[in-house]
Each structure stands twice: as structure tokens, then as C-alpha cells.
Chain A
Amino acid sequence: MKSLLLGNEALAQGSIDAGLSGVYAYPGTPSTEITEYIQKSKLAKELNIHTTWSVNEKTAMEAALGMSYVGKRSMVVMKHVGLNVASDVFMNMAVSGVNGGLVVVVADDPSMHSSQNEQDSRFYGKFAMIPILEPSNQQEAYDSMLYAFDLSEEVKLPVLLRMVTRLSHSRAGIVLRKRRGPNDINLPTDTSRFALLPMNARKQFDLLVNKQDALIEYSEKSNLNSLKKGKNRGVGILACGIAHNYVMENIGDEETDYSILKISQYPLPKEKVKALYDHCDEILVVEDGYPIVEELLHNYFDEDDKIKGKLSGDLPRTGELNPNIVGRSLGLFQNKMAPIPSVVTPRPPQLCEGCGHTDLFNAINELIPVIGDKNVFGDIGCYALGALPPLGTINTLIDMGASITMAKGAADAGLENAIAVIGDSTFTHSGMTGLLDAVYENTPITVIISDNSAVAMTGAQESTAVGRLHKICLGIGVHPDHLKTIVPLKKNHEENVEILRNELKYKGVSVIISERPCVRLSRDQKEQIKARIAALN
């Protein structure tokens, strides 16, 4: 029987069945379930596959590269913005190349269901000049993993596998194949390619550039890219990844007249693209994300009118695609649907009833009339919802860790009473280095670490910060007199406001750790956290 799996789970099972030795990741919607699936898999445990969360995406990718260096197959998983954090190692390991197969799985979030932007990871793949796979459905996500590892080992490059929210979070029945075992340890014959001193790096970069034709050849031959020429010589459709489903939804699977080039592997297979281009009067490029293929086609053919897509205005430039949008661009769907009845009001997400972040914000809000309402710099996590009414405490949310460093820059510019609010996991992900900047100059800022003992926003994964925050802050050099702990509960409100007020007066770095576990943690999780803290002491 078929197995019922989310796109993310299909991919995860595919990696196990392809002989994976380790997954490295930091949680992030819509990618989180990939790692969680392997963490929960009995088979993965038996096979001793590494699954523990990393501190951030950069450390994760470097560890994956280390595993590949010794010859084993590794995978690194993140959401799209995580690739920004890991981009240094990402760009450079394309130059060094890999040893054991290494697949970088990045889940993009068109329409920003749970993200700050809708950047398209295919740009990174192109930038690094490595192969990109973009499965169109769950079965292909499963099957692609074996192919991705093989391809990576054949061309000795990391392979980028791009997912999007709708594929990550949609289930289907999957046919599984036989599993193959992991690689043995097999160190690289020549390690100089991993030592990117200029003289080695130049050689490696030439090699990478010279591999490009071979990569295009792989794409021409790949089963993932298929051209179907139809009788209709009007509009030819080039559909990438999940967009192919939306096209097929509109034109149906039965003998269609349309010519369709399905793309799920890059670099683009130029010959196939040319064949479609020559066969049809017009090309509609349907891709979820940025108009990256559309732009390339303009480069190849330079005939502006013939290529349609997001740049030409035939498809919307922002937001994810869906069957209706694609249908309209093909002229196959004109119906105006019933509107949402006016009685319906919005229901935005909000902090859970009884959440400790709320009590913390209530304490900060007491001081807003004195310090001003634009002084609180925020960060990413559940507590970011404190930017919305009725709390409205936080003013900024840019990228992980930016609360501390933005507060520092603002204080450097003369802003008094600058406050940074950051979660425990975000602090270990990217806050510690910024805190060292502030300590180094003793910048007058007050950093509040809202420690709920979990990575709550993404589903309460374990936080590497648990039990370590005090020592980390002291180690970084925060003065012990200005390292305070509060418990954000109603009964402590007055006391907490006083501590805050006092630390704001201090003209140097203060850190206040606001400690209360997330109310969504299960009893088991709370026990595990206790045990972890006990083991530390």
C-alpha cells in the first residue's frame, strides 16, 4: 500500500532510503517536518543517522560538509531565509566541491505564510553554479532524493533541492522503493580542494565553471525535465516545479493540444527550451517565486514579445501561484467567484492564552510612557506577535539576532533607553555575537532574553539555550550586577517593572533573562528539559 506522507515527509523518507548518514538543520517553517520526520523515524535511529538540531543554518551546513568530507551522505535543511545565514559556506563549498553526496534542502515560502520575505532559493543555486532540483509533487520529492545524492557524488558538487510551502505541507500517497545502505568512510584523495587558499581556489573555481556544460547535459537528459510537443502552436507553456500541477489542473491530463516543457532540474536544458521556443508563437513561463526562468529566456532569445510571465504582467509578480491564477493566464478561467461575505472579520494569529511573553510585554509597556514607544527592537519568534495590537510593544523584526545589534546602532546614534527583546533560541542562533559587540563597547542597551525553554514558533523544538543562558552572558562579559532574572507572571509585575526601570538607568549593557516555559510544552517535554538542566549542573 502507498504511504500517506507530507511532501516534507516524503523527501525525508527518500533521504533515508538513499543512504543518508546525517541530517543537520535549524527549524523554520515550511521546512521543519523534514528533520522532525527523521528524528522520529525508528529506522533512522537503528541506522544511527545523525538528527540533532544545530544552533543555526550556518553551523548546520558546515557540519553537513564535514560529514561529506569523510565520504558519507549528508543533508542540510532550512527555510529560505536560513540560506542567507548559511550563504558563506554555501557559496564556498560549491568551489571546494563535496566528497560524499551533499543535498541542501531549502523550503521557500511564496506568499509569506510564515516568513519575512518570499526570496527564491533558485537564485542562490544559480549564483553558486550548482544543480538545482525542484520537485513538482510528493512522489517526485521522494524519488528526487536518490537522484540528488547520486548526482552530487557524480559531479562532486552540492545539490540544491527547492521545496515550496504548498508541496511541503500537502499529503499524498507515496510508493516507496528499496532502501540502500550508507557510504563507508572514504576520505578525499586530495584535500587541497578543501583548502581554499587563493591558489587552490582559483583552480577549483575554473573547474566549477568548466563543469557547467556537463550540468546542462544532465538537465537535458533528466527524467525530471520533459517536453511534450502538441498541435497547438500558439502558446507554449514552460512550467517549473509545483507550477506544473496548476497548469495540468487547468488543461487536464488527457491528450492536450498544448506544448508543455516541465522543468524540475536546473541549469535549464537549453536545447529543450529552444525546441519549445521554436515550436510555438509565444511562451508562457509559469514559476512559483521570482521570474528567474523568464529572465533567462529573455537572455537566450532576446525577443521580448514572445516571452510571457511575471515580468510581462501575465502572472502576478508577488504571492504564490494557484490553479485560478494560472488558469486566467491561459485564458481558461474567467469566472468571477462569490466574494467572502462582509460579515467575516480577520482572525490573525496571536499569543496563546497564558503565554509568558504577554506578561513580559505588559511589564515593558508600563515604561513606554516614560521612554517613548519607538525604543523597543524585536526579533523573530512567537514574541514577534507583540508587534500587533493590543500589545504593540515591538517596533522591528528584520532577521534573527537583529534586535540586539539594531538597538546597539540606535544607541550609538544617541537613542536613550534602547531595548532589545529576543527569544532564547534566536539568541543562541544569532544574538550572542551581537551581544559581544555591545559588551565590547559597553553600549547602553537593555537586552531582554525571553526564555521559554523552547523554539516555540516552529512547534516547540528543543532549544540549545536551555540551562546555558547565564553562563553564556557572563562568558561574553556582561557585568554580573547587570545580569538579572525575572519570572514573567502577573504576581511579579511590579517587581519586574522596577528591575526593568533600574536597568534602563544603567549606562552600559544590561541583560534581563525573563524565564518561563512555553505553556504548549507537554509534560514529557518539561521533564526532558529538567533532565537536561540537571545534567548540566
Chain B
Amino acid sequence: MAPITEVEHLTNPLVTVEQLYSLQDDDRNHAENGQSVRYAQAVLTQAAGILLRLPQDVVATSLVLLQRFWVENLGQGHATADLKIASEASIYLSAKLSFTPVSPRSVCNVYAYLLSTSSSLPFIGCPPPSAATPPGPQSYYVSEGSYEREREKILLCESLILSSIGFDVHVALPHTLALTYVQALGVSSRKLVKRVLEHLNGGLLSPQLLYLTHQPNALAVAAIYLAAKEVGVKLVDGNWWEVFDVEREDLGFLVLAFGSFVGFAAAEKERWENEREKLRELLSGGG
């Protein structure tokens, strides 16, 4: 078993209705679809986390911090130059808070690669098969000068994130909780557990900001509920979710959200694949 890395504090701060309405207003004021942009940024962040070999919980934390930042710092996210920097800063910050810190230099390198034409990100990298010469490492080389400038921006953004979210950097994740619940329900199905984790991870990228609207216990329960139906595992009779303090309406909402995520992600992928250049520019900050 993995070592216990940190106390599992049970709850997260939640988004308020007012905050959600302002987010919606803000989205309307911008040409680019806010959900789409946030999703792309989240995918970029996650990919960076993986390349930086950060543990899953650190990446998850950075995604949630990024969402809190969006909500509290409206208008900023759409200013294109900030998308990449904010993503870098949230990864850098959550790694710093963890047992596996990373240097600003590796963060810059990884993002340069991910936003280059050689990118391994399916909807950012240029489709290489047809290209005469596949793009090489020079396409993501970061010079000392541009590194210095970028680092300044990242560090400034780190502080901006911190003060925007009132230094509330703790993120309670539902993953371990979900495993405990599955056990408590007396089920032992690898398939089920795998599916539960997939839903929880998908939920992190959901444009509905699920980790800001619901507490970990509700996320865990909904993922279990949906996964059990999908893989055909029968759970106990009765309203078992109530035992975990989850109400029927929350459960319904989350099951919907988890269930529709795959479709959403596929649509987004298709959409951006046709607009690679635009997305790259949007994320790297055209100016």
C-alpha cells in the first residue's frame, strides 16, 4: 500500500451561487466558450503534471486550485497570456506544497514541449504523419532569457493564485474516500474500482467544476453509484448513499455530470483538433 501521505481532511471550501453566476456572466462576455477554454487548460495542466512525474493527488490538487482561481479571479483567465502561466503556476504551487517539489525550470521546459508542434497532447501537437520533417527538440527549446521572463510571470501568478483563494490551498480529494466506501459496501471488484477512479478523474476536468460544488463524500458516492451500474455490480439495497451523508438530488446531479463527461470530452477533442493553431495560440498567450 502507498504510504499515507497526508491527513485526509474531510471537506473543501465550496463555490457560492453568486460566484457561479458571475462566472457565467464572465463567460458570456468573452468570444471563446469559457467551458471549452477551461477544459483545454485543465487537460494541459494534467499532461504537464504527468510529464513532471507528479503523483496523482498533486496533479488533482493543482486542477482544483486552478478552478478556485478561475472563480475568484474572473476576467483574468480569458486574457490569453494567462492561461499557460496560470496552469504552470498551479502545478508549481501544488508540487511545492507536496513531498515532490519541482523547479520552475522543469515546469517551463515541460510546457514549452506540450505547446510545441511536437506535443504529445493529441489536440495540440501538429499531426506529424504527413509532415515532411517531424518537428525536433528545437521546437520546444527555452532560451535562458525567455526562461527568466517566464519564471518571473509564474512566480507572480503563484502569489496571485494564493491571494485570490485566500491561501486556502488544502484540497480534500474523494479518491481514498471512495475506496473506503466501496469496502464498506462489501464489494470487491477491480473493475468497479477502476471505473470509480476514472469517473473521479474525469470529474476533475469537468467544466461543471464539480470539485467546487460538491464535497468529496458526494463525489465518491456518485462515482460508485454510476460505476456500479455500468459494470453491473449490485450494491446493497436501500438508500445506501444516505449513510455517507449524500442526498438524492446531489447524487442525481453528480451521476449526470460524471455520465456525460465522456461525451463532452470527445466533442471538445474533435473541436480543438480542427483548430489546433488557434488553441495553441490561445493557451500559450498570443502576445
Partners in one complex: no
Binding site for A on B (CB under 8 A): none
Binding site for B on A (CB under 8 A): none
